[in-house]
Amino acid sequence: MEATAVILSAPKELALGQLELHAPGEDDIVVDVSHSGISTGTEKLFWDGRMPPFPGMGYPLVPGYEATGEVVEAGRGTNLIPGDRVFVPGANCYEGAFGLFGGATSRLVTNASRAVKIDGALGAEGALLALAATARHSMAGLDKAMPELIVGHGVLGRLLARLTIAAGAPAPTVWEIDPARRDGAQGYEVLDPEKDERRDYNTIYDASGAPDVLNQLIGRIAKGGEVVLAGFYTGDITFGFVPAFMKEARLRIAAEWTPDDLVATRQLIEGGALSLSDLITHTRPSAQASEAYPTAFNDPDCLKMILDWSAPQ
Residues 162 and 228 in one domain: yes
> Long-range pairs for 51-57 at CB < 8 Å and ≥24 separation?
51/234, 52/234, 54/100, 56/92, 56/98, 56/99, 56/100, 57/98, 57/100
Contact yes or no for 268/274 (Cβ under 8 A): yes
CATH number at residue 174: 3.40.50.720
**Cα 54 from Cα 77, distance rounded (Å):** 31
Same domain assignment for residues 108 and 144:
no
Closest alpha carbon to 59 in 22, 106, 24, 12: 12
Instruction: Indicate whether 90 and 148 sit together in one domain.
Output: no
Give the predicted TM-score (pTM) of the model. Answer: 0.92
Using 50 as the pLDDT threshold, list the residues of the chain that sit under it: none
- Give the DSSP H/E element, type plus range, for residue 260: helix 259-270
What local confidence, expressed as pLDDT, does residue 221 receive? Answer: 98
Within this chain, do residues 109 and 141 fall inside the same structural domain, yes or no? Answer: no
DSSP H or E run through 99: none
3-state secondary structure of 78: coil
Residue 233 covered by a domain:
yes
**Are residues 111 and 34 in contact, defined by beta-carbon separation less than 8 angstroms?**
no
Domain harbouring 102, CATH code:
3.90.180.10
CB 19 within 8 A of CB 2: yes
Question: What is the structure's pLDDT at 312?
Answer: 64
Contact 83, 121 (CB under 8 A): no
Range of the domain at 182: 135-253
* Residue 288 CA, distance from chain mean position: 21
Strand residue runs (E) in 210-311: 221-229, 250-253, 282-285, 305-308
SS3 297: helix
**Total domain count, the chain:** 2
Identify whether residues 25 and 54 lie together within a single domain.
Answer: yes
* 271 is a domain residue: no
Quick one: pLDDT at residue 68? 97
By CB atoms closer than 10 A (0-12, 13-18, 19+), residue 22 is middle
- Judge whether 150 and 159 are in contact, CB under 8 Å: no
Q: Are residues 221 and 161 in the same domain?
A: yes
**CB-CB contact of 135 with 230 (8 Å):** yes
What angle do helix axes 259-270 and 129-139 make, rounded to 10 degrees?
110
The Cα–Cα gap between 68 and 178 comes to 30
- Which has the closest alpha carbon to 296: 288, 107, 278, 179? 288
Q: How far apart are CA 92 and CA 110, in angstroms?
A: 7
Do 235 and 145 lie in a common domain?
Answer: yes
